[in-house]
Structure 1
Amino acid sequence: MSFFRRRSGEGAAGGADGGRRGFGFGRRPAAPAGVPPVIDPAGGDEGLRLMLARAAAGDWAALRPALAAVADGAELTWLLVALSDVAGVEEWAVEAAADRPDDALPLLLAGARHVSWAWEARTGRRAKYVTEEQWQLFHQRLDTAEEQLFAVAEREPQWLAPWYFLQISGRGASLGPDVARHRFEAALRRDPGHLGSHKQRLQQLCAKWGGSHEEMHAFARAAMLAAPEGSPLGELVALAHLEHWLDLPDGEDHAYLTSPAVLAELQEALRRSVLHADYRRPRGWQGAFNTFAMAFSLADQPRTAHLLFETLDGAVTESPWNYLAGDPVEIFRVHRDRCAR
């Protein structure tokens, strides 16, 4: 197999976006290890699995009570991220919102879906390959999302979710650094430790979105150190190093990730977050373990990567493996099996 880097694609709505590149291993045969890897849209969460089925069926009457029962803003946001990928939600959620204009939940779901739906229209291809029709559709859907999400934010000023999705729509609409900072700060006022909002801010600070490596690394490290040990925010450091790696030419990339300074920062972030005794796995915890597993595998640290792969037990998340060309499940398998040798 041969995996190639996608140098400067501009990616998807919420997580890892950008180039794809080869994973740097030799061509030794891989040793099979563990259960067959798979991407589970529900992340092993049976409650979300039922919600996804109800969303696919357009059954808002059954879906609404489950969403309304979620008191934690971060959990509700995580659920909405998954539900926003369900085709057809953009149709019936708008109708549900019109039927109950006093209910902000269906409008919130509609706004989240329109953000995801906009990025589906734009695709993850490089800008020069996106057609004029795709650009128009992208911006039309983002405009609708912005209108819906701001309406929710006005009705429910304590809710985190509108501000999380507004960070993504604002980046797509190129609304500028001041708007981006305002929306991130608005999210943090509602949940100071929200990992998803910090990840969106990290994307905004990436060089490919008008930031710089220096800004990105400074933000990731400061956020990690400001949080208590055991916080999931340590993942930001690993994501920042993957973004930097992605931006480097072949040869320099591997030297960067395997440098003593970067390895020390990766180890520190791992110890302060997912391997810390105070870490408690939130819903969607598999994403952080996939991030660290990929970073340590690429950094030629198979023993550490193997520990992370073992914990995942075949649970693949599309991000960050979509940095690499090919099927994320197959790429995960190759990395896992090689680290098990």
Structure 2
Amino acid sequence: MAVLRQWGLALGKWGGRPVARVQEDSGDPDVRRVREAAAAADWTGVREVLEARPESDDRTELLWAVGDTAGVERWIVPVLEADPDASLARLVAGVRHISWGWEARTGARASEVSREQFEVFHSRLQSAEEWLYEAAEREPRWTSPWYGLQLTGRGLQVGATAARRRFEATVRRDPHHLGAHQQQLQQVCEKWGGSHEEAHSFARDSAFGAPAGTQLGQLVAIAHIEQWLSLDSGPDDAYMRRPEVSASLREAADHSFRHPDFVRRAGWAQVLNTFAMAFSLAGDREAARECFHATQGRVTEFPWYYINGSDPAAAYRKQRAATGR
């Protein structure tokens, strides 16, 4: 599930500047460790890495590294049979079935996905829901099962009311969970049955309702990018270059990554990449240069795949060059 990964990049040199190459470990050695353990069907190794991290947002990338690993669905079942009360194993099984479900559906448009693919997709997501609800019941303080249920809910089209309840369940346990807010923002976007007005309102309320220095300012940038994506060529650029859009982005940046309380915890690179793209599209070269510099050459797949789905790093380099960096 590429849209859920917070990928980083390998650093090289090109014309005296970092060369962006999107890779899967985001510079965190534990991501590689847990992926290798998952590929080797080493449950002890997977468990040790996951248990060493705080439950919630800090564990998200590690969980998806396991979930995106082929074959986990085969060896996790015997683990559960050996320990029927294993909460973490249920969580891993749920996350794997989400990713496995999207593998069956693929990233194609709905009109291009066969009925058989949708049947497999829904079946795997329903299995994921069972595992995640069981994990949530056994560990009522855990955030991750509810975050996973936000994802299954969208795929199974549970509806706006149920989706909102799942989001609220996640943020009751972790009020500033970035992934949970990103998922709910998608839920209220026009393309999922919401509206631009609802998306902007949710983004601003979430960002400015949180203390200064959180990552939630990214939501404001995402909402503008989503509206840009919905428009035809010409009107899209005209929208992003409205003065009020740049002002909105600057205000969100001030409340988020520019604030002295901002901490570069998991997900920070994606936040800065998103602002870099939004400021670039807005024609705010000074602010865009600031963001590109702050990324330290680290590129994340989201949001650059919106510009170049086959080579997000190339989109990053092109936009960075356009700012004069």
- TM-score bucket of the superposed structures, by smaller chain: over 0.9
> What residue number does 2:297 align with?
314
> What residue number does 1:136 align with?
119
Query: For 1:248-285, what per-residue CA distance to the aligned partner results, in whole angstroms no more than 9, with x for missing partners?
Result: 11111101111011110011111111111110111121
CA distance in 1, matches of 2:73, 2:171: 27
Deviation at 1:69, TM superposition (A): 2.4
Deviation at 1:338, TM superposition (A): 2.4
- List aligned pairs for 1:1-341, cutoff 5 A: 14=4, 32=15, 34-325=17-308, 326-341=310-325
Preserved CA contact (<8 Å) 1:115 1:145: yes
Preserved CA contact (<8 Å) 2:90 2:132: yes
Q: 1 or 2 for the larger relative contact order (CA 8 Å, sep ≥6)?
A: 1
Greater mean deviation of Cα atoms: 38-47 or 156-165: 38-47
CA distance in 1, matches of 2:298, 2:136: 34
Preserved CA contact (<8 Å) 2:34 2:65: no
CA distance in 1, matches of 2:50, 2:174: 18
Query: For 1:109-158, what per-residue CA distance to the aligned partner results, in whole angstroms no more than 9, with x for missing partners?
Result: 11011111211211222111111121111111111111111111111111
Paired residue type of 2:304: W
Preserved CA contact (<8 Å) 1:188 1:194: yes
Greater mean deviation of Cα atoms: 234-243 or 132-141: 132-141
CA distance in 1, matches of 2:71, 2:289: 39
Deviation at 1:47, TM superposition (A): 2.0
Paired residue type of 1:327: D
Preserved CA contact (<8 Å) 1:290 1:316: yes
User: Hey, which of these two has a bigger chunk of helix by percent?
Assistant: 2
What RMSD in Å do the two structures reach over aligned CA positions?
A: 1.8
Compute the TM-score of the two structures, normalised by the length of structure 2: 0.93
Preserved CA contact (<8 Å) 1:33 1:336: no
Paired residue type of 1:112: V
Preserved CA contact (<8 Å) 2:55 2:142: no
Paired residue type of 2:153: G
CA distance in 1, matches of 2:207, 2:17: 31
Query: For 1:10-64, what per-residue CA distance to the aligned partner results, in whole angstroms no more than 9, with x for missing partners?
Result: x966489xxxxxxxxxxxxxx9561110223221111222112212222111121
Q: Aligned residue pairs: how many?
A: 317
CA distance in 2, matches of 1:317, 1:259: 26
CA distance in 2, matches of 1:159, 1:251: 45
Compute the TM-score of the two structures, normalised by the length of structure 1: 0.88
CA distance in 1, matches of 2:220, 2:20: 25
CA distance in 2, matches of 1:222, 1:147: 32
Identity between Structure 1 and Structure 2 (%): 48
Preserved CA contact (<8 Å) 2:31 2:61: no
Preserved CA contact (<8 Å) 2:5 2:64: no
CA distance in 2, matches of 1:60, 1:15: 22
Paired residue type of 2:318: V
CA distance in 2, matches of 1:235, 1:82: 23
Q: Secondary structure at the match of 1:315?
A: coil
Preserved CA contact (<8 Å) 1:12 1:124: no
Query: For 1:203-233, what per-residue CA distance to the aligned partner results, in whole angstroms no more than 9, with x for missing partners?
Result: 1001111111111110000111111111111
Preserved CA contact (<8 Å) 2:91 2:131: yes
The answer for unaligned runs of 5 or more in structure 2 is: 7-13
Q: Secondary structure at the match of 1:316?
A: coil
Preserved CA contact (<8 Å) 1:12 1:123: no
CA distance in 1, matches of 2:161, 2:185: 15
